[in-house]
Structure 1
Amino acid sequence: MKEMENITLLVDAKIKPEDLSTVFKQSGLKRPYEDSPRLEKMIENADIMITAWDDDRIVGVARAITDFSYCCYLSDLAVDQEYQHRGIGRELVRMVQERIGDDVSLLLLASPIAMEYYPHIGFDKVSNGYMIPRKK
């Protein structure tokens, strides 16, 4: 595994929809990267936004919604495919956990391609969840 050398992690940095679009597109994560107004809402309404940068290039993002008391939903964890396997995703998750503290559960829905990844960075698989999927 390559180290995270030269990668800067920023908490709650002001990013543009274009930045979020870029990292979603480059990560391979299925997200509405062409819907700028929706991306803007995703940025504005996140409680936690941690980004990873290689100079001025965004290469990763962790975006979460939380009450900072009981639960936190990690709605996005995306790392540019060129930068994967360097520990960036693990560090983004660690920083989210640092912000929410030990009393808060961290939850997520994994994309099918990431099902094997999350147990490697400390997540337990759960089978007692339900979902009403989005319509668009």
Structure 2
Amino acid sequence: MNSNIEYKEIKTFGRDELERLFLSVEWSSGRYPERLVQAMQRYETVLSAWDGERLVGMLCAMDDGVMTAYIHYLLVDPECQHCGIGRRLVEIAKERYADYLKIVLIAYTHGTGFYENCGFHAAHDSVAMYLTEMGD
């Protein structure tokens, strides 16, 4: 991995680069690259990390414009994990939403330590719930 990661705020991606990144972390949404291309256009915030021409990380967030931002996706290519990319993407998002009352996300159990190290706290009075049609 190149140590000169470039961070961009863009919403236009090729289906192949999104498919590769999402499948690299074994996320089922990677099986729907055309939908991912469309989804990126609709997020309020899309931050990406690039190693040269290769997409190696991404954070996508939705917000209400004043109070709450929700980080929906944060993923880093496994070959580039533990290099500070995810942490930097979170830092950029925290800067962007500094005036908001809260930033919310749902973490997989194995990822909670990472988010705690980024300043997030687990809610003890709620549970994540979802409805999916993606077959997983």
Calculate the TM-score normalised by the size of structure 2: 0.86
The root-mean-square deviation of aligned C-alpha atoms, in Å, is 2.0
Does residue 69 (structure 1) correspond to residue 66 (structure 2)? The answer is yes
Residues 1:96 and 2:93 are matched in the alignment: yes
Which amino acid letter does the alignment assign opposite residue 111 of structure 2? A
Determine which of 97, 119, 123 is the counterpart of 1:122: 119
Alignment match of 2:14 (pick from 13, 16, 23): 16
Amino acid at match of 2:58: V
Q: Which runs of 5+ in 1 are unaligned?
A: none
Give the aligned residue type for 2:102.
Answer: S
Gaps of 5+ in 2: none
> Partners of 1:57 and 1:85 in 2: how far apart?
17
Q: Percent identity?
A: 26
Q: Identify the structure with bigger relative contact order (alpha carbons < 8 Å, sequence gap 6+).
A: 1
Alignment of 1:48-87 (within 5 A): 48-87=45-84
Give the Å deviation of 1:31. 3.6
Query: Per the alignment, do residues 66 and 29 of structure 1 end up closer, same or farther by CA in structure 2, a change over 3 Å counting?
Result: farther
User: Residues 19, 117 of structure 1: CA spacing in aligned structure 2 closer, same or farther, 3 A cutoff?
Assistant: same
Shift in Å, 1:29: 4.9
Provide the aligned length of Structure 1 versus Structure 2.
Answer: 133
Distance 2:9 2:34 in 1: 22
Which of 104-113 and 37-46 deviates more? 37-46
The letter for the 2-side match of 1:6 is: N
Q: TM-score, normalised by structure 1?
A: 0.86
Q: Which amino acid aligns with 2:22?
A: F
